[in-house]
Amino acid sequence: MRRRLLVAVLALSWAPAARATDLRLGADLAWVRDSSFDAFWTNDLFSRFDLCLAYTTVAAVPFRLDAELGYGYAGYLGADASFAAITSELSVHDAYVGLRASIDPPGVSWLRPYVRVQGGATFGLASFRDTSADDAPAYEDWSVGGLVYGGGGVEFVVPLGVFLDPPPAPLSEPMAFGVFLEGGYFYRSALSFDPSIPAPEDEDEVADRIPTTGFSAGDVVLSGGELRIGFVARL
C-alpha cells in the first residue's frame, strides 16, 4: 500500500502543470506585543502594505512551488511618549525573497491552500521630536535588521476565462484573479536607534558647529503574529 502511494506521488510530481506568475497586493496586520512598539503607535496592531511577485519554479499537478520577491511598507507610524515629551515617528521598509508551496485540492479548482516562508531585511527610519522646543529639529536615525516569516493560508482564485465564452487566447489558463487569506508569524530582529539631529547641509555651518553627541533611544521590536489579506492576479 505504502509503495503504491509513493509511486502515485512520484507520478503526480512529474506530471505537467501550468507555470504562472503571481502578483499579490496585500494588507498585513501584525500583532506586536513588545512595549517598544508603543512608542510609535497607540495600540499593538502594526499594519503595512505588501507587494509580492511570485514565479512558479516547480509545477507538478497538483503541487506548485513559487519563488517570491516582495516589498512591504509601513510609513504612517507615529505617537507621543508623554513621559519623555517625545513625538516618535517610524517608517518601515521590508525587502524579502521567499518560497510558497501550494496545492490544488481535487475538485475545488478555485481554492488553493499554501504555506510560505520568507526571509529578508527590514529598514527602519525613525525620527524623534522634542515637544518642548518648537524650533528644535527632530532627531533621526535609521537601522537595518533581518526578517523571517512563516505562514500559511488559502487563496480563492477564479480563472479569467470563466467570464467569457469562449475566452480569447490571451486569457487562457492560467490567467486568474482572486483574494488570499493568510496567517503566520513575523520575526524581525530588533531595530536599534541612536538618533541625533542631522548636521546642517552647509559645510561651513557644519565646521562651525560644536561637536554634538546624540543619544541611544534603544531598540524597537516588530515581531508578532500576522494576518494577511489581499488580492492576487495570476498571469
Partner 1 sequence: MSDSCPHPRPLARAAIHPWRAAIPVFFAGLALAACGEREAVWDRARDMRGPLALAGHLAWVDAALEELVTVEARARDGGGFDFLVVRQPLGRRPVLLAASADRTRALVVTHGTTGGAGYEAEEERLYRLDPTGREAPVVYELRSPFDALALSADGRWAVAFFGSGDAVNPNELAVVRLDQPPAPETNPRLLPVRTYGSRPLAVHFLENLTIGDRDRQLALIFSARYVTLIDLEHLDRRMTTVFLSARASTDAVVPAALAVAPGDATDPEGATPYVFLRAPGIAEVFALALKDNPEAAADQNDFGPTVNEIPVPAPPDDFAVFDGPDGALLLAVHGRTPGVTVIDPRTTAAWDVRLDAAATRVRIFPEVPTRDGLRQLALLWSPGAGQTRAGFLVLDDVQTRLRRNLETIDLGAPVQQVLPTGDPNRVLLVHDVYSGSLSILDVADRTVVPLGVRVGTGALATHPEGRAFFFAAPGRNAIAELRLDTGHAEDLRLDAPPAGLYALPGRTVGSTRRGRALLVDHGWSSGYLTALPLDAPDRAAAGSLQGFLADGFLDIDAGRHPAEEVP
Among 81, 101, 103, 115, binds partner 1 (CB under 8 A): 81
Candidate list 172, 206, 215, 235; residue touching partner 1; CB under 8 A: 215
Query: What CA–CA distance (Å, rounded) separates 21 from 64?
Result: 12
Interface size with partner 1, residues (CB under 8 A): 53
Residue 85 gets the label, from left (phi > 0), alpha (psi -120 to 50) or beta, of left
Whose CA is closest to 69, among 57, 59, 54, 56?
54
Nearest to 59 by CA among 95, 99, 89, 102: 102
Using rule CB under 8 A, residue 33 touches partner 1: yes
Q: Which of 136, 162, 206, 235 binds partner 1 (CB under 8 A)?
A: 136
Query: Contact between 132 and partner 1 (CB under 8 A)?
Result: yes
What is the CB neighbour count within 10 angstroms for residue 41?
18
Pairing of strands 63-81, 86-103: antiparallel
Quote the cell numbers at residue 197: 539631529
Only segment of 5-13, 26-34, 52-60, 61-69 that touches partner 1 (CB under 8 A): 26-34
| 41 lies in the binding site for partner 1 (CB under 8 A) | yes
Tell whether residue 183 is a contact of partner 1 (CB under 8 A): yes
CB 148 within 8 A of CB 116: no
**Residues 122/198, Cβ–Cβ less than 8 Å:** no
218 counts as binding partner 1 under rule CB under 8 A: yes
Residues 185-214 vs partner 1: string with x where CB under 8 A? --------x-xxx-----------xxxxxx
Q: What is the DSSP letter of 7?
A: H
CB 3, min distance to partner 1, A: 30
Q: Which of residues 148-177 bind partner 1 (CB under 8 A)?
A: 153-154, 156
**Residues with Cβ < 8 Å from 159, sequence gap 6 or more?**
109, 110, 173, 174, 175, 176
Question: Given candidates 82, 164, 201, 202, which one binds partner 1 under the rule CB under 8 A?
Answer: 82
- According to CB under 8 A, which one of 13, 17, 23, 36 is a site residue for partner 1? 36
Kindly list the distances between the CA atom of residue 122 and the CA atoms of 102, 133, 142, 199, 216, in Å, as whole numbers in the listed order.
26, 31, 10, 25, 20
Provide the binding-site residues for partner 1, judged by CB under 8 A: 29, 31, 33, 35-36, 38-39, 41-45, 79, 81-86, 108, 111, 128, 130-133, 136, 139, 153-154, 156, 178-179, 181, 183, 193, 195-197, 209-220, 227, 229
